[in-house]
Chain A
């Protein structure tokens, strides 16, 4: 999928470059873009490493347990069936917590385990309403502090890299609500 997209982008750049007479600039941009990739990687390195260190500290401080406990009532109301199953509810809580704290890669294993367990409970290859809700919760970002974005902003010389937080929280909250609302609506509309 990505291979086709990548080649399509390069193809577009070549065609538009030739049509607009910018072909020399396109050729130069191929190399300067790659250099920018290195600059960006180095520029965000400090923030990403510090954030990763802070995450490790938060996990050791028991913050994940605190967050899990705080959100337990919401999770149980969203997943009434899976919430009663100790295995599934554990995976769901762990996944939710990792998403909230922005531990992207740490969210995937419990997320997969949660969907697998929900599948065992349902015994069919058809997604249940709870599975759909769970996936929507994972595709609509619920991350509290988008550290990578902040790192990119800091590298570009932003005044206060984290001053976008209120905007991020508002749009995350509304988009999660819209996703769950759409799921509820579609669950009622379609009986397939």
Chain B
């Protein structure tokens, strides 16, 4: 049923906007233009990061890391190939996207590793960055238990991503 989600959302949002006398077509075009802006902001980071990730893949480091981490990862039911993604996820959103894109491309989008990478990316956030920005901007110095609680959410998210991919196929 998820395959019609985007068309139905378009239809529903479009009809509601039309009823509010909005110029639906102009909204769509200007929204797409904003999308190009997002993309332009993301592209340079993706290019330099994918260069580094590809070097790591070619050097054999990523395979070595997966093998070294295999016992711990497999204990939690997480494919060890995903360790690099879990390490970079809390630090940088674009680096995590680069690592996940490389995993999805090299293992296939419908493989277990590819699907788990996608679910991990979709169900976690750039934790350290978010805490830094929010507390930094508000001048909060004593962050108390915010970091450990957020880390608990991240680790649960990683574990659940692997589990739910196994559950839903």
A30 touching B54, Cβ below 8 Å: yes
Which residues of A94-114 are within 8 A (CB) of B?
Answer: 105, 108, 111-112
Known interface pairs A138-B130, A149-B122; A125-B56 also in contact (CB < 8 Å): no
Task: Determine the chain A residues whose CB is within 8 A of the CB of B168 once the complex forms.
Answer: 166-167, 170
Q: Indicate if A78 sits at the interface (CB-CB under 8 A).
A: no
Tell me if A74 is interfacial: C-beta within 8 Å of chain B: no
State A25–B15 Cα separation when bound (angstroms): 53
Please report whether the interface of chain A is mostly helix, strand, loop or mixed according to DSSP. Answer: helix
Whether A13 and B34, one on each chain, are in contact in the complex, defined by CB atoms closer than 8 angstroms, is no
Find chain B residues with CB under 8 A from A13 CB.
Answer: 52, 55-56, 58-59, 61
Inter-chain contact total with CB atoms closer than 8 Å: 352
A12 touches B91 (CB 8 A): no
Q: Is B74 an interface residue (CB 8 A)?
A: no
Q: Does A22 contact B (CB under 8 A)?
A: yes
Question: Whose C-beta in chain B lies nearest to the C-beta of A99?
Answer: B125
| Chain A window 54-89, contacts with chain B (Cβ cutoff 8 Å), 1 for yes, 0 for no | 111110111100000000000000000000000000
Most buried by A among B55, B60, B119, B137: B55
> Which residue of A9, A53, A139 contacts B32 across the interface (Cβ within 8 Å)?
A53
> A16-B60, A33-B51, A164-B122 are contacts. A125–B140 as well, Cβ < 8 Å?
yes
Known contacts A164-B122, A171-B164; is-contact A63 B58 (Cβ 8 Å): no
Cα–Cα, bound, A186→B104 (Å) = 36
Q: Are A167 and B35 in contact (CB under 8 A)?
A: no
Q: Are A139 and B123 in contact (CB under 8 A)?
A: no
How many positions in chain A have a CB within 8 Å of any CB in the partner chain?
101
Mask of B101-135 contacts with A, CB within 8 angstroms, 1/0: 11011001110001100111111111100110111
Which residues of chain A have C-beta atoms less than 8 A from B68's C-beta?
Answer: none
A20 touches B59 (CB 8 A): yes
**Complex Cα–Cα for A77 and B32 (A):** 37
On whether the beta carbons of B124 and A175 are closer than 8 Å, the reply is yes
**Nearest-CB distance from B20 to chain A (Å)?**
6
Complex: chain B residue closest to A95, CB-CB: B134
**A170-191, CB under 8 A of B: which get 1 and which 0?**
1110111011111100110010
The answer, among B34, B109, B120, for a CB contact under 8 Å with A52, is: B34
Residues in chain A within 8 A of chain B (CB atoms): 1-2, 5-6, 9-10, 12-17, 20, 22, 25-26, 28-34, 36-38, 40-41, 44-45, 48-58, 60-63, 105, 108, 111-112, 115-116, 118-119, 125-127, 131-132, 134-136, 138-141, 143, 145-146, 148-149, 152-153, 156-168, 170-172, 174-176, 178-183, 186-187, 190, 192
A-B contact pairs, 7 of them (CB 8 A): A12-B56, A36-B105, A48-B35, A57-B17, A179-B149, A179-B153, A186-B144
Supplied contacts A10-B52, A17-B58, A171-B164, 9 more A-B pairs, CB within 8 Å: A6-B49, A10-B55, A14-B55, A53-B35, A57-B27, A136-B146, A164-B115, A179-B149, A179-B156
The 7 closest A-B pairs by CB, nearest first: A33-B54, A179-B153, A56-B31, A52-B35, A146-B122, A37-B47, A53-B31
* B residues apposed to A, CB below 8 Å: 2-3, 5-6, 9-10, 12-17, 20, 22, 24, 27-36, 38-39, 42-43, 46-61, 64, 88, 91-92, 95, 97-98, 100-102, 104-105, 108-110, 114-115, 118-127, 130-131, 133-135, 137-146, 148-150, 152-154, 156-157, 160-161, 163-165, 167-168
